Structure 1
Amino acid sequence: MFQIDYYAYSNRMVSIHPAEKFLFSFITMLICLAINSYAVSLAVILLMTGAVVLRAGIPWGLYLKLMALPAAFLLVGVAAIALSVSFSGQAAGTFWGFSLAGVSVGVSAGGLALAGKIFLKSLAAACCLYFLALTTPMVDIISLLRKIKAPSLFMELMGLVYRFIFVMAETAEKIYTSQSSRLGYVNLNRGYHSLGQLVSNLFVKSYHRSKMLFIALTSRCYNGEITVLERNYSLSPGNIAVILLLDTGLVLFGIWEKWGGPAA
């Protein structure tokens, strides 16, 4: 079982109503995306990190390891935004660059500022999604979507895909262990060969497991809807008040930072 799924069921916020956590995550993410500000993005990152680590009790090491994945992806993406390319001499406004075969590549202050703003905003949005994923089991999320009348096909696909993430991860781990015990990754060439075999075998085995799962569901009178037991939750007026207070504070902070504080 993935650590994300483990902590989703065992964190200190698991007893809180899923709608409250969804509301907090969704509204905070909307505020972060709507207000184009370094300070607000940083505030959202700190707020969500505090909620996940201090309130929900998720270990620091796991959270930083999870955040490293979107951070590395975003760094590669925003690097293209920070760079300015010119085919007719040095690009205007660049403070660092080089030329190669008549093409000038440089970094401008405006491009660097835009890249930094997009990076922080995207990372803050990822923090909001991690908050929901680490504190709310998938069963509760699907139950919440069912209550707000989300399309049933979307929810069934969501549940099946989520289930097969674990199936594929378990299958890949077993294949990798078997290959490693036969020195399948002893050097680079054998490693590439073994990796290709792993991917091809993973596809075949996953297809076979999906057929077996469909047969099992059909034998249990599957009619296009998977019904699971749902926990009973009660909304907390105190939690809702805290959510509204925090998000209102973010909005006011964004307005002050844009109009009354230092330049964004």
Structure 2
Amino acid sequence: MFNIDQYAYSNRLKQVHPGEKMAFALATLLIALVAPQPALPAIIIALMAGASIGAAGIPARFYLQLFLIPLSFLIAGVAMIALTITNQPLAGLKGLTLLGWTLGVTPASIHLAGKIFFKSLGAVSCLYFLSLTTPMVDILTVLKKLRVPALLVDLISLTYRFIFVLLATVNDIYTAQAARLGYASLRTSYHSLGQLVANLFIKTHRRSQELFTALTARGYGEELQVLEVPKPFSWPFLFLAAGLDLALLSLMFITWRWTLWPPF
């Protein structure tokens, strides 16, 4: 999380208007979700990786490490979708049969699992592009200009802030426990982990009270006021993003047409 925030402030696209980056990321995410075939989300994954690594200058190793986080959950999820358990004969079912029940996969289940897998990774790649190239302050500024309720914007800001508070608190407690050999054995590890979880919520609650006291002392009313740095529109980026999304839309309609009316 700390590296994500660091790259958001130091990437090569930081001066591009945040509204343009948000529009590009969200429009591409929508295309990935409604695409009828998994090939288009796969193209979006490559496109967003190229935009993040090539255009924004995010290190490729760090970007790939980020992808490993949702990848493990996705593999476990789509594996359950691909597997079929039945005692009835199904077309194309291949697997292990025991006591009249068959555990296996069918072409339809594999296709569905692959579609969900690539759609999910395509959506993740769009969100990674936005989070790695746009600071949260800029995103909140765009949300305010879009007339999003101030209460919702403040909740997003405070939630984002407390993600870092939680991570810093976990790191401090873990370092203190490890320095005292709190994870030297399996038994002490379980005991230390329980203490970490218990102390985490206590310390986080205390920090939240301190934050509220600090905001009240500085005249907090009904809305958090953040200094806005005006950024001009980048017309080359806007035209390039619009061209890429139009190309993806054209490709989506072509694949959708072939799905409904395959060529003879």
Per-residue CA deviation, residues 70-97 of structure 1 (Å, 9 max, x unaligned), is 11111111111101112x3666632123
RMSD: 1.8
Task: Tell whether the 8 Å contact from 1:93 to 1:108 is kept in structure 2 after alignment.
Answer: yes
Note the residue ranges of structure 1 that are not aligned, 5 or more in a row.
none
Task: Tell me whether 1:180 sits opposite 2:178 in the alignment.
Answer: yes
Partner of 2:230: 232
Partner of 1:95: 94
Under a length normalisation based on structure 1, what TM-score does the superposition of the two structures give? 0.94
Under a length normalisation based on structure 2, what TM-score does the superposition of the two structures give? 0.94
Task: Tell me whether 1:50 sits opposite 2:44 in the alignment.
Answer: no
Matches within 5 A, 1:118-197: 118-197=116-195
Task: Tell me whether 1:216 sits opposite 2:219 in the alignment.
Answer: no
Identity %: 46
Q: 1:102 Cα deviation (Å)?
A: 6.1
> In the alignment, residue 13 of structure 2 is paired with which amino acid?
M
Q: What is the rounded CA distance, in whole Å, between the counterparts of 1:119 and 1:23 in structure 2?
A: 24
> In the alignment, residue 79 of structure 2 is paired with which amino acid?
A
Q: What is the rounded CA distance, in whole Å, between the counterparts of 1:103 and 1:217 in structure 2?
A: 63
Q: What is the rounded CA distance, in whole Å, between the counterparts of 1:125 and 1:53 in structure 2?
A: 17
Task: Tell whether the 8 Å contact from 1:4 to 1:134 is kept in structure 2 after alignment.
Answer: yes
Q: What is the rounded CA distance, in whole Å, between the counterparts of 1:34 and 1:108 in structure 2?
A: 23
Per-residue CA deviation, residues 161-217 of structure 1 (Å, 9 max, x unaligned), is 111111111111010011111111112221111111101100000000101111111
> In the alignment, residue 83 of structure 1 is paired with which amino acid?
L
Q: 1:37 Cα deviation (Å)?
A: 1.3
Q: 1:239 Cα deviation (Å)?
A: 1.8
Partner of 1:71: 71
Size of the alignment, in residue pairs?
Answer: 261
Partner of 2:41: 41
Runs of 4+ in 1 over 6 A off after TM superposition: none
Q: 1:155 Cα deviation (Å)?
A: 0.6
Task: Tell whether the 8 Å contact from 2:36 to 2:255 is kept in structure 1 after alignment.
Answer: no
Partner of 1:11: 11
> In the alignment, residue 30 of structure 2 is paired with which amino acid?
L
